[in-house]
Structure 1
């Protein structure tokens, strides 16, 4: 609860206190947005805890706080939850392998045209812009599911989950809450609205850069595998142990503060430094034929790697 309170205080400071109280005193208070932008990382980690039902033991309050945090983050909680659980189920399969392309079907350049915009802010902006789908009627959602259903994408599955009656109602309410929150913040910033735009842009870059760093150039067809990325222990606490990502994929029901003990118990290892893993994504798309990502022969796969459905808790 202390962490949730700190996250909410940071959002209120960024969205309302700064423009209404501090900027009228001195516009140089705008520099405060830079350290506040970094709180996006633990903010997402708390939302992630709520997605897995480990933020609070009470399920109803777990989801309520997740929705509240997601409103400040700028993405509908229903969409974020459905997308993340699909990630656990289909990671590194043809449905979800962000940087991989088939050289027999497309070129590196064509793959790069989609890859780099997503990497450099596009992923978060897609989550933010998804709120316009709240205006789409149920029939339109069914059309979207049919149009996007594909064996090489999770988009159709994502739309199908969100379009379920009880989920769609929540998605629409969450979208309205985001519009109201950010419209109010935009009015508060007034002539300094560009500062809010910069803050959202930095958040988009941080979220999008970090998202696939734990999976870039990892072996295909192994949904339970990811990378543990090395960080100083203080920074590991700051990101709520999100850097122990392979541990999380193999033990998705553990709370963030239990991951370090599981890392030790499993005799797991760090694969790269966090900053190195983030930076090397700039190398761009990777062909599915590259030796380092090609699936292992069936005989060499671990039982866990051949059972992707066991990795993800069922969606609520």
Structure 2
């Protein structure tokens, strides 16, 4: 829902969001520079500390990117997308691609296409488990830069021809996603993003080893925490998410991202106002839920009862 139809009591905190974005980007780059100095000096402890802090600070960056994807990081569309592009570049990935992917998630949440935690009839248990553990240990993060590069480097006429000839359902869905992203826009963002990264790299004198370690820490942290909000939830487009109880400093660092069910119920409401929408105070702990997601995928028969398994599109309950 656009900012024009957003209730005044849920106004976008423009200045606060811009300030947080600038601080987040500055701290993230400072940590990469510090990690590079630690690597050069052979200070493993400081390098590890920088990587750990980087993995947490980048969670804030993703939360900011998430706000931009829903057009609620700033009420001015150009500023919103500009800030979103910066956050996506630091992730790194194409803002356009990541926006389309995330909005598709809201159309397919807990459907068969996103059911990573249950084994459907005909699926291999060991293959599903390998896929699941690959996702939560970093592969889901790796998809963003790899898909960005793939779309950027693949000629548009080849993509169009492959889309027209796609007969396999999975391939057709994948190619349709690429078509929706808009290869031209992704290429533009990739070129500009690479220029920004080259300038940053030379200015801060970064080392690839330190950057790789920092991003490996973030990839593991982010990938596993992406699923903590949905694994073992009802198979329902909107209700298939958790509001999780989280230590308040981390809840603010995550920009209330732990109130994920409330977000799915009211995607148009900015992060600052999300606690006002919580219908039932969360009692399920974040850490306990995080530990449970490391259990292997279960047979789909163990999922919620059929009456809770709503796969079709629903009209989101918007806040008046």
Query: Is it true that 1:121 corresponds to 2:132 in the alignment?
Result: no
Q: How does 1:286-301 map onto structure 2 within 5 Å?
A: 286-290=298-302, 292-296=303-307
CA distance in 1, matches of 2:317, 2:113: 15
Distance 2:178 2:168 in 1: 9
Are 1:288 and 1:294, in contact at CA under 8 Å, matched by a contact in 2? no
Structure 1: runs of 5 or more not aligned: none
Contact 1:16 1:185 in 2 (8 A): no
Distance 1:152 1:88, change over 3 A: farther
TM-score (normalised: structure 2): 0.82
1:261–1:149: structure 2 CA closer, same or farther, 3 Å change rule?
farther
The alpha-carbon deviation at position 239 of structure 1 amounts to 0.6
Query: Equivalent residues in 2 for 1:40-51 (5 A)?
Result: 40-51=58-69
In 2, are the aligned partners of 1:55 and 1:255 still within 8 Å (CA)?
Answer: yes
Q: 2:234 maps to which residue? A: 219
Q: Residue 81 of structure 1: which of 78, 99, 104 is its match?
A: 99
The RMSD of aligned alpha carbons is 2.9
Equivalent-residue separation in structure 2 for 1:214 and 1:59 (angstroms): 28
Q: How many residues align?
A: 296
1:130 paired to 2:135: no
> 1:310 is matched with which residue?
315
Q: Which residue of 2 aligns with 1:94?
A: 112
Report if the CA contact (8 A) 1:121-1:208 is conserved: yes
CA distance in structure 2 between the partners assigned to 1:37 and 1:9 by the alignment: 14
Alpha-carbon deviation of 1:171?
Answer: 0.8
Q: Tell me if structure 1 keeps the 8 A contact 2:110–2:235.
A: yes
Partners of 1:23 and 1:80 in 2: how far apart?
Answer: 32
Kept after mapping to 2: 8 A contact 1:95/1:152: no
In structure 2, relative to structure 1, the CA distance for the partners of 1:288 and 1:234 (3 Å cut) is same
Match of 1:105 in 2: 122
Q: 2:284 aligns with which of 272, 292, 295?
A: 272
Distance 1:27 1:143, change over 3 A: farther
The TM-score normalised by the length of structure 1 is: 0.83
Instruction: Give the corresponding residue for 1:159.
Output: 178
- Aligned partner of 2:31 in structure 1 is 14
